[in-house]
A = this chain, B = another copy of it.
Amino acid sequence: MSQHVVVIGAVALGPKAACRFKRLEPGSRVTMLDESDVISYGGCGIPYYVSGEVADEQELRTTSFHMVRDVQFFKDVKGVDVMPRTRAVEIDRDARKVKYKNLATGESGELEYDQLVIATGATPRKLNLPGEDLKGVHYVSNPHDAVAIKEAIAKGEVNNAVVVGAGFIGLEMAEAFTDLWGVDTTVFEIFDQIMPRLVSPEMARMTQEHMEEQGVQFHLGETVKALEGDGRVQRVVTDKRTVEAECVIISVGVVPNDGLARDAGLECNERGGIVVDETMRTTDPAIFSGGDCVVVKNLVTGQPAFLPLGSMANRQGRVVGDNLAGGSSKFDGVLGSFVVKTFETSLAGTGLSLESAKAAGLDAASVLLVSLDRAHFYPSKDLMTLELVYEKGTRKVLGIQGFGNAGDAMVGRINAVAAAMKFGLTIDELSTMELAYAPPFSSAMDVLNSVANMADNAERGLNRGVGPEGFEKLWEQRDSGDYCFLDCREAPDAEPLMEKHPEHWCNIPQGEIYKRFSEIPEDKTVVLVCNTGARAYEAQVMLDHKGVKDAVTIRGGMAALKKWGMDV
């Protein structure tokens, strides 16, 4: 039976659903409308176009075989009719009609549909600041923005840039400005950390440290009050300072475009986003939706989640295409996996951060591990930092976040956890998770197994540790006389610390703890440090055995403190 499917929106989910459906039912007709004449683009690629890594904006909307995905392409190659510069203004669900307006000609019209797909995406959130409409103020949402930003930089008009909001796009844009163009870039973030809620303050600070080393300036816990300039932006005014900026990026999240659905009486989330079921159907069975305009289930909390990512849109789009053709494909929810590359490092995660887990009412804890990502004798080894979040009692993995070099090794670990979390992964299962092993790729005990082992040890009360933030608090009390700071590395490694703080640090190599036990003061909390925390844990076990009650390790050791930017 031939049918007519109308798709509103032609960026990510729309085209994917349209093309998949058309392959399944080549005899049916698909019409896709979009307000813009620039369609089917990879918005996530914009920072790489601005940075110069992608030479031509058009590459963001070509296929992998270099054909531009324009109206003609969809017609010839995909058999899909596209109506560009066309706004859907109303959905008449009873009559199964979409009313539209051609933005070029002003003409109106109607399209009858058998099934409808709402793929209206999201719009960058505005701050409604004075001066927000000045020239030079941009939201990173479509190729028009990208071209405008890059043109201004290339013309030499931009010496100073400001990024408002330190989420994915903000960080990627900060890198783009700094790395290739040498633009002085300042990031303002209203929260006390970058990537708020997504990663712990410690991981956030490690990333921030690295970006600062590359020249990006950060001001956290600071609110932008106004943008100033004469026609063109020249200054950014916050509650604490005024900085010059010829280019301002506002990247403070996006708002789902659910107005059309809402007006048509489809159920929407009170905080925004069209409600869909596992088949991606809205509350009208003839209308599907997906991508940046919907809410889906968070698989960890069971709560509605808004996760505007191109990858989600594509995977959901295929499900929509299947089901338009009478299938029963399912998209059961999201974990919230993410990754952002920042210069030579990357930051990634899946599931919940400790803060998010606690906010969701879960009895959560986390451990921080710094460990080698492959065999310690293999030349290209590097340190990887992982924070594993788990539920106490059930030992269920709630999330994991990673910080490492900009390669694929850390992201691969996050993906492995994401793949298994959906099935209710526990720390015990992660402890024996089977990762492919050869020295160029992994340690015999992979870093993922190790972080699970650490969580197991923490949960059993065997490994009592603090991260860099916790250590800083202890270190601030170093003159109280309550603490014994014990470096349990071999003497040559410990020497710099001993020389710098002879009054605060002592050194007993871990292998000499029993022999030299009498040197350890009985009435103090022993704070144990080594390179990454492994020996400190062994030392703590030894002290426990000798009846010392208050020994505590620094998780991640000196390596974590250094990444975190603390100079002990």
Q: Chain A residues in contact with chain B, CB under 8 A?
A: 12, 16, 23-24, 26-27, 42, 44-45, 48, 53-54, 59-60, 62-65, 67, 73, 76-79, 168, 172, 309-316, 318-319, 329-332, 334-335, 337-341, 346, 348-350, 372, 375-379, 406-409, 411-420, 422-423, 425, 428-429, 431-442, 444-446, 449, 453, 462, 489-490, 493, 510-512, 514, 530-532, 534-535, 538, 541-542, 544-545
- A436 pairs with B377, CB closer than 8 A: no
Interface centre among A64, A313, A331 (most CB of B within 10 A): A64
Q: CA–CA, A440 to B408, complex, Å?
A: 9
Q: List 21 A-B contacts (CB under 8 A).
A: A44-B437, A45-B439, A48-B439, A54-B379, A65-B531, A329-B428, A329-B431, A335-B434, A337-B434, A337-B437, A338-B437, A341-B438, A349-B436, A408-B409, A412-B413, A412-B415, A416-B418, A418-B434, A419-B425, A420-B422, A422-B429
Would you give the shortest CB distance from A332 to chain B, in whole angstroms?
A: 7
Q: Is the CB of A372 within 8 A of B412?
A: no
The answer to whether A440 and B335 touch (CB under 8 A), given A45-B375, A63-B376, A435-B418, is: no
A62 partner residues in chain B, CB cutoff 8 A: 376-377
In the complex the two chains form, what is the Cα distance from A510 to B440 in whole Å? 41
Complex contacts, A77 vs chain B, CB 8 Å? 510-511, 538
Would B65 and A436 count as touching, CB distance under 8 A?
Answer: no
B411 contacts A436, CB within 8 Å?
A: yes
Find chain B residues with CB under 8 A from A541 CB. Answer: 23, 26
| Minimal Cβ-Cβ distance residue in B for A371 | B64
Residues of chain B within 8 A of A462, CB atoms compared = 23-24
* Residue from the set A42, A318, A330, A435 with the largest chain B CB neighbour count within 10 Å: A435
A431 to chain B, nearest CB (A): 7
A42, B375: Cβ atoms closer than 8 Å: yes
Within 8 Å CB of A378, what residues of B? Answer: 45, 48, 53-54
**B residues less than 8 Å from A422 (CB atoms):** 420, 429, 434
Q: Shortest distance in angstroms between A536's beta carbon and chain B's nearest beta carbon?
A: 11
Q: Chain B nearest CB: distance from A13 CB in Å?
A: 10
Question: Which residues of B are found within 8 Å of A444, using beta-carbon distances?
Answer: 12, 42, 44, 310-311, 313-314
A308 to chain B, nearest CB (A): 11
The smallest C-beta distance from A462 to any residue of chain B, in angstroms, reads 7
**Contact A432-B377, Cβ < 8 Å, known A315-B449, A408-B441, A439-B44:** no
Q: A319 to chain B: which residues have CB within 8 Å?
A: 432
User: In chain B, what residue has the closest Cβ to A336?
Assistant: B434
| In contact, B530 and A339 (Cβ under 8 angstroms) | no
A65/B340 contact (C-beta < 8 A), A12-B444, A48-B377 known: no
**Contact indicator B420/A412 (Cβ below 8 Å):** no
Given the complex of chains A and B, what is the CA–CA distance between A431 and B377 in angstroms? 37
- Asked if residues A445 and B377 are in contact (CB atoms below 8 Å), the reply is no
Of B78, B375, B414, B420, the contact of A436 (CB 8 Å cutoff): B414
A431 to B531, CA, bound (A): 41
- Which partner residue on chain B sits nearest A372 by CB separation? B64
Give A4 Cβ to nearest chain B Cβ, in Å.
17
Residues of chain B with a CB closer than 8 A to A312's CB: 434
Given B310, B316, B544, which contacts A437 in the complex, CB threshold below 8 Å? B310
Q: How far is the CB of A36 from chain B (nearest CB, A)?
A: 19
In the complex, which residues of chain B have a beta carbon less than 8 angstroms from the beta carbon of A420?
419-420, 422-423
Are the CB atoms of A409 and B412 closer together than 8 Å? yes
Q: Of all chain B residues, which has the CB nearest A26?
A: B545
> Which residue, of A79, A407, A432, A545, has the highest number of chain B Cβ atoms within 10 A?
A432
CA distance A406 to B407 in the complex (A): 12
Closest 4 CB pairs of A and B: A412-B412, A311-B437, A76-B511, A423-B423
Q: Is the CB of B428 within 8 A of A330?
A: yes
B535–A65 CB distance below 8 A: yes
Q: A63 CA to B431 CA in the complex, in Å? A: 20
Whether A65 contacts B339 in the complex (CB less than 8 A), given A418-B416, A436-B415, comes out as no
A439 → chain B closest CB, angstroms? 5
Q: Which residues of B contact A53 (CB under 8 A)?
A: 378-379
A75 to chain B, nearest CB (A): 8
A462 to B325, CA, bound (A): 13
Q: Which of B63, B168, B440, B511 contacts A438 (CB 8 A)?
A: B168
Alpha-carbon distance A439/B339, docked complex (angstroms): 9
Task: For residue A195, give the distance in angstroms from its CB to the closest CB of chain B.
Answer: 13
Q: Are A42 and B415 in contact (CB under 8 A)?
A: no
| B377 and A76 within 8 A (CB) | no
From B54, B408, B417, B439, contact of A407 by CB (8 A): B408
Q: How far is the CA of A458 from the CA of B379 in the complex (A)?
A: 42
Find A64's partner among B67, B376, B438 (CB 8 Å cutoff).
B376
The distance in angstroms between the C-alpha atoms of A479 and B421, with both chains bound, is 54
Q: Are A411 and B441 in contact (CB under 8 A)?
A: yes
Given A314-B444, A419-B416, are A438 and B538 also a contact pair (CB < 8 Å)? no
A441 to chain B, nearest CB (A): 5
Considering the chains assembled together, what is the distance between the CA atoms of A332 and B433 in angstroms? 10
Residue pair B65, A489 in contact (C-beta under 8 Å): yes
